[in-house]
Chain A
């Protein structure tokens, strides 16, 4: 049976992991390779590396980081953040990334999704979408790390993205992100019924029950979390034990 995936997300800046980490016995918690290997050993099903490096120049270090990650990890990983075009994607896939995620660049130029799907296959193209629920009740998409309104409505944008060739959706609710109060279940469920590719829940995980709800109520194929794991509040094993006890198929 296909399992529900648990995906830690690592923010990387200038080649270093950004968020604070409480792992004991980890020589260098700022090393994205070490941290990724640790998560893989703990039972992570996949990893997401999100590059938040500000300048284009320094971003080139990302390719060499991806090579090191690929050499070390024996599970799949996605790389995202600042990917501008097919050239970037080609370099990252050649370096050993399994999937790439695009966000702002796809909003700016939606046909990028068609191009990437055609050249590299939908299976490695993840459309990342950050959105928030506005006062009128609609979900609006934001880019540039949530700073800039994209002028797109969440559900129509995701549907268009899948039609253009995205093979997976990474949906982050900005309203829920960082709250630890659970994922945006209603929006997730709407997304999951709208498209037939996997949807990854992101933003809001604070306890094991939130992962369960993402699966049960949100109909998500996977759930992503960052701070929860980085600060050592929960281990992947604890989350999976909880899910397994409640009948969710997980890999252990």
Chain B
């Protein structure tokens, strides 16, 4: 088994991801070293907090240019997914442009989302549109979400969730994968998603 690199740029819940992998019997390295990341068999890109400050930290470590060039399977989580999109309204900044989607605040939609509680926090059902990460997962299973911004549904959206509107729960493009929910905190089904990511065949 090759190594798993968890990208450490000061804006991710790296510890939770590391522990989740250990529960699956896998070790990982938490690193910001471009060489270690490039060499890894799998790369996980977590993220929490504000998009603009997270992107600043990525740039400081020159990971913003590295990430889109990776060729092994990459998994973005939560803010990681949003940063992999074309643009985010959080701080009005360009993303990494891997996914052809815009990231908006839930409130932006007006009437449909006016009565919603923000953050979208808790367990919500995920409906597949052919996601490879949801293999052997019952459709409409519940996963744990915590976020106030969402990625709009795009051609790379492979699973959707409803919260006032439909948004991207999972996105996939070639070797790039991302989940808006936290698989590392989503019980058994979350473990299945991580396992599916680790077991992907090229």
Q: Mark A82-99, 1 if CB is under 8 A from B, else 0.
A: 000000000001111010
CB closest chain-A residue, reference B185: A76
**Chain A hits for B146, CB < 8 A:** 76, 98, 123
Given the known inter-chain contacts A71-B22, A197-B118, A198-B117, please indicate yes or no for A1 contacting B124, CB distance below 8 A.
yes
* In the bound complex, CA of A96 to CA of B16 (Å): 6
Confirm or deny: B120 has a beta carbon within 8 angstroms of a beta carbon on chain A. yes
Specify the main secondary structure of chain B where it touches its partner.
mixed
Given the known inter-chain contacts A45-B122, A70-B15, A70-B19, please indicate yes or no for A123 contacting B147, CB distance below 8 A.
yes
Contact B49–A120 (Cβ < 8 Å): yes
Confirm or deny: A27 has a beta carbon within 8 angstroms of a beta carbon on chain B. no
**Chain A hits for B116, CB < 8 A:** 196
Q: Which of B48, B121, B182 contacts A198 (CB 8 A)?
A: B121
CB closest chain-B residue, reference A95: B15
Interface size class of B (residues with CB under 8 A): 35 or more
Contact A74–B163 (Cβ < 8 Å): no
Binding site for A on B (CB under 8 A): 13, 15-16, 19-20, 22-23, 48-50, 116-125, 142, 144, 146-148, 162-163, 182, 184-188, 190-191
Further contacts, 13 of them, CB under 8 A, given A2-B124, A71-B23, A96-B13: A1-B162, A5-B123, A70-B15, A71-B19, A74-B187, A75-B187, A76-B182, A93-B13, A94-B15, A96-B16, A122-B119, A168-B121, A196-B116
* In the bound complex, CA of A45 to CA of B185 (Å): 10
Confirm or deny: A172 has a beta carbon within 8 angstroms of a beta carbon on chain B. no
CB closest chain-A residue, reference B184: A74
4 shortest interchain CB distances as A-B pairs: A251-B142, A251-B123, A121-B49, A96-B15
Specify the main secondary structure of chain A where it touches its partner.
loop
Interface size class of A (residues with CB under 8 A): 20 to 34
Contact A70–B16 (Cβ < 8 Å): yes
Max chain A C-beta neighbours (<10 A), residue from B22, B117, B122, B182: B122
**Chain B hits for A93, CB < 8 A:** 13
**Chain B hits for A168, CB < 8 A:** 119, 121
* In the bound complex, CA of A216 to CA of B17 (Å): 35
User: Can you name 6 A-B residue pairings with CB atoms under 8 Å?
Assistant: A2-B163, A70-B15, A94-B15, A122-B119, A221-B122, A251-B123
